[in-house]
Amino acid sequence: MPQPFVVVPRGAAAPTRPRRTPPDHPALASLRPYLADPDVTDVFINGDGALFVDRGDGARPVEGWSAEPDAARALAVASIALGGRHLDDATPCADVRWEGGIRVHAVLPPISCAGALVSIRLPAPERPSLDDLGRAGMFDAATASRLRALVANRVNLLVTGATGAGKTTLLAALLGEAAAAERIVTIEDVAELRIDHPHHVRLEARQPNLEGAGGVTLARLVREALRMRPDRLVVGECRGEEVRELLTALNTGHDGGAGTVHASGIRDVPARLEALGALAGWDGRTVARQVVSAIGAVIHVGRADGSRRVLGIARPVLAGDGWELEEASDFEGGS
């Protein structure tokens, strides 16, 4: 996300962003300058031992940095171990979360065709508010007012966009606008949402162990969350059949909930949800009825002119046996 605009008195130095504090582990020593850099959003180690870093303008190679195959494998194993999971030949792929919301994914050969792969997703060290995002150019004043109205009126929200478009950042800022007396319960496959709110309860799914035991699914966590008296129930990123859990949760009478879904454009959202619903065993008609009942507004974000922007806000409506999105200028009621 671009650095928020801050008024600086003439002649004064521009404020510096706080640096991250990555885990203190010897295997990460060569990555520490990039992990700590507040402008870096992603760090990638490829199978050939090359390092790529994204500072918001695309992944760029780091000249002079390389890792031998054994060193890259050791770094991948250590990175996953720091998140409490195991990476080896029997479990060659793993996804974990470090403290501070840093998300790490690693893959070992032979799943990776040319050496260990490590992908590290780095959240901004700040927790930007809606005001911060507005100053950064994500939306104008009129859109900011509409977004605040959606939260105040407890409309169920679906934030959509491509990878890295700012879905999680915007959702966290929106939830930060909720009243301090409200209890927010978030359910995620890997916990990434960091909300500036005094009453935020986080639940994270757990993968089964090598014997296939001990797993805790999103569906199970939704059922647990409903017993925790949430004022706002949030199911994080949906990539597959967990869309069933998102829509089911938002259809339980709990207004003000939210979730995120990948979609390349706002017009693609209906087809995307229908595809995810099919993975959950739902037909198109069922998906349509569930979406229109559960979701009050879809907020689509994407990159435009080199920065992240809110590109559209729409309301799901039934259309024949399916559904579509229609633009709406006001959201006075709940979902």
Confidence of residue 23 (pLDDT cuts 50, 70, 90): confident
Instruction: Return the pLDDT at 170.
Output: 95
Average model confidence (pLDDT) across the chain: 87
Instruction: Return the pLDDT at 15.
Output: 54
Annotate 130-186 with three-state secondary structure.
Answer: HHHHHHCCCCCHHHHHHHHHHHHCCCCEEEEECCCCCHHHHHHHHHCCCCCCCCEEE
Annotate 219-232 with three-state secondary structure.
Answer: HHHHHHHHCCCCCE
Instruction: Return the pLDDT at 100.
Output: 78
Entry pTM: 0.81
Across the chain, where does the E strand assignment appear? 42-45, 50-54, 59-66, 93-97, 103-107, 117-121, 157-161, 184-188, 200-204, 232-238, 258-262, 297-304, 307-319, 322-327
Q: What average pLDDT does the segment 206-214 reach?
A: 77
By mean pLDDT, which of 37-41, 70-74, 81-85, 249-253 is the weakest? 249-253
By mean pLDDT, which of 3-17, 56-70, 275-289 is the weakest? 3-17
Confidence of residue 330 (pLDDT cuts 50, 70, 90): low
All domains of the chain in start order, with CATH: 26-121 (3.30.450.90), 130-327 (3.40.50.300)
- Identify which has the larger pLDDT, 101 or 83: 83
By mean pLDDT, which of 79-83, 105-109, 258-262, 327-331 is the weakest? 327-331
CB within 8 Å of 166: residues ≥ 6 apart: 1, 138, 301, 308
Instruction: Return the pLDDT at 329.
Output: 59
- Please say whether the beta carbons of 75 and 170 come within 8 A: no
Which has the closest alpha carbon to 191: 100, 62, 305? 100
d(CA 300, CA 34): 30
Confidence of residue 14 (pLDDT cuts 50, 70, 90): very low
| DSSP 8-state symbol, 115 | B
| DSSP 8-state symbol, 105 | E
Q: What average pLDDT does the segment 207-227 reach?
A: 83
**Greatest CA span in the chain, whole angstroms?**
64
Residue 2, pLDDT above cutoff 60: no
Total Cβ atoms within 10 A of residue 135: 16
Phi, psi (rounded to 5 degrees) for 128: -65, 140
